[in-house]
Amino acid sequence: MCTALQLIEHWQDVGEDRARGRTYVPATDLAAYRVADTDLDAPVSSPALRRLMSHETARAVALLDRGSHLVGRLRGWARLAVAGYVAGGRAAADGLRRAGYEVLAGSPGARRAEAPGISPRSRHRARPVPSLPVPSPHDPEPERLMTAPSLEDAYAECEAITRREARNFHYGIRLLPPPKRSALSAVYALARRIDDIGDEDGPYAGKTAALEAVRAGLRTDPDPADPVMVAVADAARRYPIPMGAFEELVDGVAADVRMDNDPDVASGFYGSFDEMVGYCRAVAGSVGRLCLGIFGSAPHPEASRYADALGIALQQTNILRDIREDLQNGRVYLPREDLERFGAELVLDEHGVLVDKNGGLAELVRFAADRARGWYADGLRLVPLLDRRSAACTIAMAGIYRRLLDEIAADPPSVYHQRRSLSGWQKAGVAVMALAGRGPR
């Protein structure tokens, strides 16, 4: 936690420190992001420096996430104080994001209303990242602050990640008994980490190396200081989780990274629907099979295939929901053969809205939604093989995405300018129906 807070302060003060003759950004990172030494003396941050600062901030926040488990182990004023430091660090990181990682033209800080401990009366620049006190040698338990997270803390961190980052998934797993819910949170937290590597800014080689580092970590004993890997390792001891599926997920995210490196992606990265399904199987079917390892099922030779099909159905829904957002990020998942069949072009206007001049894109969306329904029907054959609560969880997750798919199919232009989602009340309604054993058909 202390390291994270210090790093965030350094990233806020790149320009100020440079003016004093100090540079804390690692030389290896400057080289990897092609930031010249003269870039640090410019009046404003270059695009390369902004990308580097995005990367450095994400790493600091990841450290802060790992350290924040300490809050739950404290009581009274100590807990309140440390929680304030964590909140201040997160607010400072948010300030960097809001500023677009502009770290030379003035130091971006947290909004004063968001950063604990900052007086609104202050006239000088707010400094929301104070130093935490080092444990005194006279503290009867100084080592307690420096120990690796307990298993309980590790699972708590994974559940916090799931609750914060995956609202649809979280709605579903709330229907499970606590041990399975904790194990699935661990699975999600690691899957999220892998996915985030593909989505963060950075050079192709750096992302590839990071993915291979995750792959290597899956084949060794977990780092005791890494709560996610500690929880995943424990979950794998308690449930028959197919750990190889995580490596398939790494393969799928590696395909995203290759897409980011393809200058002709707008014409369609995947030539055929079968190629797109291969990608969906890697990034989502793998998660379906990981979930099945925790759910357990009645013996059936097709159980794993059903879980795989359901994951592929969910990913097809994501692709239709995120056409615009993916295109803005330089990614196209719709198969080239489908785009050509319907005469659809993926183009954004000056407002960032998808253009559909001849209605071909709307036709493609309706066709693709109908095709995805077949995958849902196949995948939901898994439900009778599960226990009641695992079945309810599966029905809830599938129900949320299937309802979203139906809404997109009924109004394809609705995804041209926004990211569609269900309201909290709609999701809760799906969950209630799932508990009653009623879901999508």
| pLDDT tens-digit readout, 33-51 | 899 988 999 988 898 898 8
**Confidence bin at 278 (pLDDT 50/70/90):** very high
Neighbours of 364 (CB within 10 A): 22
Three-state secondary structure readout of the chain: CHHHHHHHHHHHCHHHHHHCCCCCCCHHHHHHCCCCHHHHHCCCCCHHHHHHHHHHHHHHHHHHHHHHHHHHHCCHHHHHHHHHHHHHHHHHHHHHHHCCCCCCCCCCCCCCCCCCCCCCCCCCCCCCCCCCCCCCCCCCCHHHHHCCCCHHHHHHHHHHHHHHHCHHHHHHHCCCCHHHHHHHHHHHHHHHHHHHHHHCCCCHHHHHHHHHHHHHHHCCCCCCCCHHHHHHHHHHHHCCCCCHHHHHHHHHHHHHHHHHCCCCHHHCCCCCHHHHHHHHHHHHHHHHHHHHHHHCCCCCCCHHHHHHHHHHHHHHHHHHHCHHHHHHCCCCCCCHHHHHHCCCCCCECCCCCECCCCCHHHHHHHHHHHHHHHHHHHHHHHHHHCCHHHHHHHHHHHHHHHHHHHHHHHCHHHHCCCCCCCCHHHHHHHHHHHHCCCCCC
pLDDT higher than threshold 90 for residue 299 = yes
* Angstrom distance (rounded) from CA 291 to CA 287: 6
pLDDT at 373: 96
Confidence of residue 116 (pLDDT cuts 50, 70, 90): very low
| CA-to-CA separations, 213 to 59, 171, 255, 287, in angstroms, rounded | 15, 31, 16, 20
**Full set of structural domains in the chain with CATH:** 2-106+114-119 (1.10.600.10), 153-435 (1.10.600.10)
| pLDDT above 70 for 168 | no
Question: Are residues 235 and 294 in contact, defined by beta-carbon separation less than 8 angstroms?
Answer: yes
Kindly report, residue by residue over 359-392, the tens digit of the pLDDT: 999 999 999 999 999 999 999 999 999 998 888 8
Give tens-digit pLDDT for 21-34: 899 999 999 988 89
pTM of the model: 0.64
Query: What is the pLDDT, as a whole number, of residue 234?
Result: 96
Give the confidence band of 441 by pLDDT, cuts at 50, 70, 90: low
Residue 93 CA to residue 96 CA, distance in Å, equals 5
Give 212-266 pLDDT, tens digit per residue.
999 999 999 988 888 999 999 999 999 999 999 999 999 999 999 998 887 776 6
Contacts of 56 (CB under 8 A, 6+ apart): 7, 11, 25, 29
Percent of the chain at pLDDT above 90?
47
pLDDT at 80: 65
Decide which of 202 and 10 is more confident. Answer: 10
pLDDT tops 60 at residue 119: no
Q: What is the pLDDT of residue 124?
A: 33
Helix extents (H) in 72-124: 76-98
CB–CB of 52/35 below 8 Å?
A: yes
434 has a pLDDT exceeding 80: no
Mean confidence (pLDDT) of the chain: 83
Share of the chain above pLDDT 70, in %: 82
Considering only CA atoms, which of 399, 408, 401, 387 is closest in space to residue 434? 399
The predicted model gives 49-67 an average pLDDT of 89
Give 311-346 pLDDT, tens digit per residue.
999 999 999 999 999 998 888 999 999 999 999 989
